[in-house]
Amino acid sequence: NQSQKKQLITVLGATGSIGVNTLDVLSRHPDMFEVFALTGRSQIALLAEQVIKFKPKYAVLETEQAVNVLKEFLKDTQSNTELLFGPQALIDVSADSEVNIVMSAIVGAAGLLPTMAAVTAGKKVLLANKEALVMSGELFINNVNKFNAQLIPIDSEHNAIFQCLPSDFTYGDKTASGIAHLLLTGSGGPFRELSLSDFEAITPEQACAHPNWDMGKKISVDSASMMNKGLEFIEAKWLFGFDEKDIQVVLHPQSTIHSMVQYIDGSVIAQLGNPDMRTPIAYGLGFPRRIDAGVKTLDFNQLSDFSFSKPDPQRYPNLYLAIEACKEGQAATTALNAANEIAVEAFLGGHITFTQITQINEQTLEKQCHTKLTCIDSIIDHDHTSRLTAAQVLKEVCKC
C-alpha cells in the first residue's frame, strides 16, 4: 500500500532556489512524499502559498513578527498548519520523530544547527547547504556515522561524484575502489573572459547573473568569484574522505558535465545533464530509485563546444585561498566561510567592490587563531569570532 509508505519531509529554506525546486519535484510525486514542515525567513507571501498548497504540519519563520505576517496571509484559508518561529523551532522540525527526510537548503552558517539536528536524529539528510560541512566537516561526518544518518549530497558536483562512485565505495578508501582523482567541474561564472582591469567595476547584478544556473544571490556571487568551487573542494574532502591532492578542479564553461571520477585504469566516469537542480534533488529524494524530475532531456544534437581548462589563480584567487584553508584545517575553513559571508553581504549591499571580497577573506584568514575545533560549540564560537574579525577588516577596507 503506497499511502502507508509515504515519506515525511522537512524542507529547510523552502522559499529559496533549492527549496522551490524541491517542492516542484515533490509535487510530481504526491503518492511518495508528504511535507511535514516548511521553513523560510523572508518571502512570507511565497511561504503562505506553499503552506496552502502542501499543507505541512508546521511552518517556521525567524521571528514572531514574521509569523504574524504569515498568519495574516492565511487568515481566510482553511490552513491547519501550526506556525512556529526561532532557531529552536528549526531544530525541532528537523529532528521530529515523524520526519523521514530533511532537505537542508538554508543558505550559510545559519543552516548548521538544524542540519546537525537532522543528522543526530538519524534522518535521511539531503545536503544542499555546503557551508555546514565547510564549518564542521569532521564532526558532521562522525555524527552521520554515529547516529546512522543517511547523507546524500545535493550540490550538483557532489551528487554527480556520488553517482559516479562504485556502489561499494568505502569512505576515504580510494585505493580499494581503484580511484585516482575526483574531478570537480566548474563553469568559471560570468567573468571567465572579463578583462581583469574591469573587475573593480563589477556590480552585484552582473555577479548574480550566472550564465548556466539560476541560484540564490550568495551562491551566485560565490560562483562568480569561484569561492563556491573552493567551498565545494572542502565539501568534497569531507563527503568522500579524500586528500586535497586527490581532488582537482576543472573549468568546464558549458556546465553539462557536473563532475567526474577518474579511475586508475584510465577510465573517467562522468555524470551529465542539463544544468537543473531538480536532477540531483530527485536523485536524493528517490535514492536508490530514479524518479521523474521534470528536467528537459539532454539533447546531444544541440551540444557543441565541450571545453575544459585550468582555473587561473589571478582571476579566481578565492578558489586557491579555500584550497589553502582546506589544507590548514577546520579553524581556517570556518574562518574563511564566515569572512566570505560577511564580504558577500557587503558586496551585495553596495559597500565594497567585487575584488575587496578577496581582501576581506585573505585578511580575516591571516588574523584567525589556530584553535582546534572539536565540538559544535567551539565551531559556533569560532564562526562568531571570525565574523567579528571580518567586520573589523571590512571597516578598514571600505573605510566605513
- 42 touches which of Mg ion, ligand NAD, none (CB within 5 to 8 A by kind)? ligand NAD
**Count, residues near ligand NAD per rule CB under 6 A:** 26
Q: Which is nearer to ligand NAD, 11 or 179 (CB)?
A: 11
Task: Return the residue of 42, 77, 145, 203 that touches ligand NAD, per CB under 6 A.
Answer: 42
CA atoms of 49 and 17, how far apart (whole Å): 15
Q: Which is nearer to ligand NAD, 179 or 280 (CB)?
A: 280
Task: Return the residue of 67, 116, 215, 285 that touches ligand NAD, per CB under 6 A.
Answer: 215
Cβ 77 to ligand NAD shortest distance, Å: 21
Residue 155 interacting with Mg ion (CB under 5 A) = yes
Q: Which is nearer to ligand NAD, 25 or 179 (CB)?
A: 25
210, 161, 272, 220 alpha-carbon torsion, rounded to 10° = -10
In the block, which residue shows the cell 495574516?
72
**Count, residues near Mg ion per rule CB under 5 A:** 3
Task: Return the residue of 199, 213, 263, 320 that touches ligand NAD, per CB under 6 A.
Answer: 213
Cβ 1 to ligand NAD shortest distance, Å: 34
Q: Which is nearer to Mg ion, 61 or 127 (CB)?
A: 127
Q: Are 109 and 337 in contact, with CB atoms under 8 Å apart? A: yes
CA atoms of 14 and 11, how far apart (whole Å): 5
Cβ 210 to Mg ion shortest distance, Å: 11
Q: Are 200 and 191 in contact, with CB atoms under 8 Å apart? A: no
Per DSSP, the residues of 115-130 read HHHHHHTT-EEEE--H
In the block, which residue shows the cell 560541512?
133
- 34 touches which of ligand NAD, Mg ion, none (CB within 5 to 8 A by kind)? none
Residue 297: closest CA among 272, 270, 274, 277: 274
Task: Return the residue of 24, 62, 328, 362 that touches ligand NAD, per CB under 6 A.
Answer: 62
Part in contact with ligand NAD (CB under 6 A); list of ranges 76-84, 122-130, 193-201, 292-300: 122-130
Part in contact with Mg ion (CB under 5 A); list of ranges 16-24, 89-97, 114-122, 147-155: 147-155
Q: Which is nearer to ligand NAD, 83 or 128 (CB)?
A: 128
Part in contact with ligand NAD (CB under 6 A); list of ranges 72-80, 209-217, 266-274, 337-345: 209-217
Residue 341 interacting with Mg ion (CB under 5 A) = no
Residue 222 interacting with Mg ion (CB under 5 A) = no
CA atoms of 363 and 358, how far apart (whole Å): 8
- Helices 17-27 + 278-286 axis angle, to 10: 60
User: What are the E-state strand segments in the chain?
Assistant: 7-12, 33-39, 58-61, 82-85, 101-104, 124-127, 150-153, 179-186, 247-251, 257-263, 268-272
CA atoms of 9 and 213, how far apart (whole Å): 25
SS3 per residue for 218-252: HHHHHHHHCHHHHHHHHHHHHHHCCCHHHEEEEEC
Residue 40 interacting with ligand NAD (CB under 6 A) = yes
Length reported for the chain? 400
Q: Which is nearer to ligand NAD, 153 or 317 (CB)?
A: 153
CA atoms of 190 and 307, how far apart (whole Å): 16
Task: Return the residue of 10, 16, 184, 323 that touches ligand NAD, per CB under 6 A.
Answer: 16
CA atoms of 212 and 350, how far apart (whole Å): 24
Q: Which is nearer to ligand NAD, 112 or 335 (CB)?
A: 112
Residue 309 interacting with ligand NAD (CB under 6 A) = no
- Checking DSSP bridges between strand 58-61 and strand 124-127, what pairing results, if any? unpaired
Residue 18 interacting with ligand NAD (CB under 6 A) = yes
- 117 touches which of ligand NAD, Mg ion, none (CB within 5 to 8 A by kind)? none
Which spans of this chain sit near ligand NAD (rule: CB under 6 A)?
13-19, 40-42, 62, 105-107, 110, 128-131, 155, 213, 215-216, 218-219, 277
